């Protein structure tokens, strides 16, 4: 099978919401009038973002999930994606399983995969995703206001705990949800959309809660107090909270949303979360004074050794 | 310097035609009303698409140029791009030179670089580019009609000859334009735009003239006759035409346009080329019968050993 046949067989699927799909020099889409177009790109490299022996179907899912999570963080409705991948060799079964994971999640979210590029090289995946919001309504990182509540969706630290265990750095019985969160993250697209007009600032937690919250504080020129005991995690991990604090507060790979909203909108936040079928937890508040203060149960400031993932550290 | 500082310093530049540029979960742009949005992605891998020791400024230029060439092939006006790159290490001088080449060409074409992702890994570059045409006017591969003239822009085979020489497979004095074409290709954006409403089908020649022309024939369900002696190349290479035939007709990396147009529009084609400042040459014609017939000066059919580049061959 040559390159063109491989691409055609696995990566060319129906593109109902495109004018022109795969097969020309460019795909053609028609953005919705009165909407802003959101664009985000992520690159995943074997041995850095995933284990080379990972289940290819899970990898296909996660490759798109991390991009959908960026759309969720803006409150955008994802519509189109393109996929570029470098593969060390042509392995039909691997490519088929990867495509199953990738296109399966795309179909769940009504996303058309409108283009791609395949080449030989060290296993590397790059997805660019496109979504839409009504003009001017996006959830941006620079919109937090002093007095806002800080919320997070779902549970934190599960994926990081699974990764630490896989690396032999954590000796603890973990619930199966940890590995599932690491390999099959569920992007919070419905929650992001439901928060339009309710939340102020938002982002998705990919490098760790504390590091990512810093991005909101930097862009919004404000500070925050966070109650570490309030950070939500899996019930089975409560007994090991102290041991897992760095996973929960700074672990990365959560793909949950962190957002701020006026305390007056707390009921609307909870209603949006119910509508989206996702739990949300209030974990702190935005303050005018710059800096992030992490507080323990006694209200004392806590310093974390590392705040998040630096790809070149 | 950590990852975030590196990215900020070199890859965050003004984005005048974006609502929101680098620094959030997604960039936000506002597509032009009444226009179609064109999207294309290309991935370049060290050791496959370029020599690892290539001048980083030239690499930055070429990384964007091959994407601009896809927009040119659609007749689209390029507007935005995102860049994902994996780097083996943080080398400030390398990154600065790469960014100079990339952003320099972007500025020439009024393209805003609205987002990106940087990670550690084997040197890999992935660009997604966005352009616009008035709705329904794009130059597509499926629009060739029997009786059309086949045209190519510029000169063919220069980059392929330079590559063969660099690989030690060609012992021939080459004009400096060959290496320049390989390292600093000039995408034919102005020509593509000028051909809107004049040309029928179009694409850019990246994998070799014959292989790429096959894509037009496949998508348009037609065939072609091509006069090999008419294929344009550099005057200094005329004496070695026979030796260089595979470079000229099937070499790849030309980034010239190949397009078809009604013979009745030949004067309009020539006027568009003059307006764009690019030479164009008529090299054959579209016929109803499927298949590509390459004819020599005596009108006899010629078979080429290989038609184009297969990344997994």
Binding residues of B for substrate: 49, 253, 309
Q: Is B27 on the interface with A (CB under 8 A)?
A: yes
Yes or no, beta carbons of A126 and B131 under 8 Å apart: no
Please give the residue that has the higher pLDDT: either B14 or A233. Answer: A233
Q: Is B259 on the interface with A (CB under 8 A)?
A: no
Separation in Å, CA of A208 to nearest CA in chain B: 14
Reduced to 3 states, what is the DSSP secondary structure of residue B142?
A: helix
Q: Alpha carbon of A255 to those of A73, A285, B244: distances in Å?
A: 9, 21, 54
Residue pair B5/B92 in contact by the 8 Å Cβ criterion: no
Tell me which residue of B218, B246, B220 sits closest to B302, measured CA to CA: B246
Q: Is A272 on the interface with B (CB under 8 A)?
A: no
Interface test with A, best of B26, B36, B86, B189 (most A CBs within 10 A): B26
DSSP bridge partners of A216? none
d(Cα B292, Cα B191) in Å, to the nearest integer? 25
Yes or no, beta carbons of A25 and B115 under 8 Å apart: no
Partner residue opposite B38 with nearest CB, options A28, A37, A219: A28
**Chain B residue closest in CA terms to A136:** B19
Yes or no, beta carbons of B74 and A2 under 8 Å apart: no
For A77-96, the pLDDT digits (tens) are 999 999 999 999 888 889 99
> B107 is written with which tokens?
């500025």
Instruction: Give the single-character DSSP code of B201.
Output: B
Burial of residue B52, with CB atoms counted within 10 A of its CB: 0-12 exposed, 13-18 middle, 19 or more buried: exposed
**Chain B residue closest in CA terms to A121:** B45
For B182-226, the pLDDT digits (tens) are 999 999 999 999 999 999 999 999 999 999 999 999 999 999 999
Interface test with A, best of B3, B17, B25 (most A CBs within 10 A): B25
Q: Which residues of A touch B74 (CB under 8 A)?
A: 24-26, 28
Q: Is A36 on the interface with B (CB under 8 A)?
A: yes
Q: What is the pLDDT at residue B268?
A: 98
Residue pair A172/A281 in contact by the 8 Å Cβ criterion: no
Q: Is A90 on the interface with B (CB under 8 A)?
A: yes
Instruction: Give the predicted TM-score (pTM) of the model.
Output: 0.91
Binding residues of A for substrate: 49, 253, 309
Yes or no, beta carbons of A312 and B204 under 8 Å apart: no
For A198-208, the pLDDT digits (tens) are 999 999 999 99
Q: What is the pLDDT at residue B309?
A: 54
Task: Give the torsion through C-alpha atoms of B47, B50, B52, B56, to 10 deg.
Answer: -160
Report strand pairing: A149-153 vs A256-261: antiparallel
Residue B23, Cβ neighbours under 10 Å: how many? 17
The mean pLDDT value for B28-40 works out to: 94
Mean pLDDT score of chain B: 92
The mean pLDDT value for B119-125 works out to: 93
Yes or no, beta carbons of A31 and B26 under 8 Å apart: no
Yes or no, beta carbons of A41 and B74 under 8 Å apart: no
**Cα-flanking dihedrals φ and ψ of residue A302, to 5°?**
-120, 140
Q: What is the pLDDT at residue A105?
A: 98
Q: Is B40 on the interface with A (CB under 8 A)?
A: yes
d(Cα A231, Cα A226) in Å, to the nearest integer? 8
Binding residues of B for Mg(2+): 25, 40, 42, 70, 117, 204, 207
d(Cα B260, Cα B231) in Å, to the nearest integer? 15
The mean pLDDT value for B113-133 works out to: 93
d(Cα A288, Cα A293) in Å, to the nearest integer? 12
Q: What is the pLDDT at residue B310?
A: 52
Q: What is the pLDDT at residue A130?
A: 96
Q: Is A203 on the interface with B (CB under 8 A)?
A: yes
Q: Is B70 on the interface with A (CB under 8 A)?
A: yes
B141 Cβ partners below 8 Å, 6+ apart? A23, A24, A25, B201, B202, B203, B215, B216, B219, B220
d(Cα B67, Cα A128) in Å, to the nearest integer? 14
What pLDDT band is residue B7 in, cutting at 50, 70 and 90?
Answer: low
Q: What is the pLDDT at residue A313?
A: 46
For chain A, which residues score pLDDT lower than 50?
313
ipTM over 0.90: no
DSSP string, B55-95: -HHHHHHHHHHHHHHHHHHHT-EEEEEEEEEEESS--HHHH
Residue pair B25/A78 in contact by the 8 Å Cβ criterion: no
Q: What is the pLDDT at residue B18?
A: 83
Is it the case that residue B90 has pLDDT exceeding 90? no
CB pairs under 8 A between A and B: 225
DSSP bridge partners of A134? A35
Yes or no, beta carbons of B45 and A86 under 8 Å apart: yes
Is it the case that residue B305 has pLDDT exceeding 60? yes
**Cα-flanking dihedrals φ and ψ of residue B81, to 5°?**
-145, 150
Reduced to 3 states, what is the DSSP secondary structure of residue B286?
A: strand
Burial of residue A51, with CB atoms counted within 10 A of its CB: 0-12 exposed, 13-18 middle, 19 or more buried: middle
For B276-294, the pLDDT digits (tens) are 999 999 999 999 999 999 9
Q: What is the pLDDT at residue A310?
A: 52
């Amino acid at each position: 099978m040559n390159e063109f046949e491989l691409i055609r067989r696995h990566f060319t699927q129906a593109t109902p919401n495109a004018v022109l799909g795969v097969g020309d020099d460019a795909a053609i889409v028609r953005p919705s009038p009165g909407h802003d177009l959101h664009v985000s790109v992520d690159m995943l490299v074997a041995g850095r973002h995933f284990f080379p022996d990972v289940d290819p179907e899970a990898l296909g899912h996660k490759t798109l999930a991390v991009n959908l999570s960026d759309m969720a963080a803006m409150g955008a409705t994802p519509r189109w994606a393109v996929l570029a991948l470098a593969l060390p060799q042509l392995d039909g079964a691997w490519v088929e399983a990867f495509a199953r994971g990738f296109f399966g999640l795309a179909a769940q979210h009504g996303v058309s995969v409108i283009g791609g590029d395949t080449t030989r090289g060290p296993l590397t995946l790059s997805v660019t995703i496109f979504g839409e919001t009504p003009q001017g309504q996006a959830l941006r990182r620079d919109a937090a206001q002093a007095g806002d509540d800080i919320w997070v969706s779902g549970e934190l630290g599960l994926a990081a705990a699974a990764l630490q265990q896989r690396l032999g750095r954590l000796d603890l019985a973990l619930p199966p949800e940890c590995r599932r969160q690491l390999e099959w993250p569920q992007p919070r697209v419905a929650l992001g959309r439901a928060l339009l007009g309710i939340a102020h600032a938002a982002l998705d937690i990919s490098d760790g809660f504390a590091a990512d919250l810093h991005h909101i504080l930097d862009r919004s020129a404000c500070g925050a107090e966070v109650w570490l005991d309030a950070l939500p995690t899996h019930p089975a991990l409560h007994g090991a909270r102290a041991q897992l604090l760095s996973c929960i507060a700074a672990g990365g790979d959560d793909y949950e949303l962190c957002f701020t909203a006026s305390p007056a909108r707390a009921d609307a936040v909870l209603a949006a979360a119910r509508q989206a079928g996702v739990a949300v937890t209030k974990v702190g508040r935005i303050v005018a004074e710059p800096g992030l203060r992490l507080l323990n149960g006694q209200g004392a400031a806590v310093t974390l050794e590392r705040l998040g993932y630096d790809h070149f550290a």
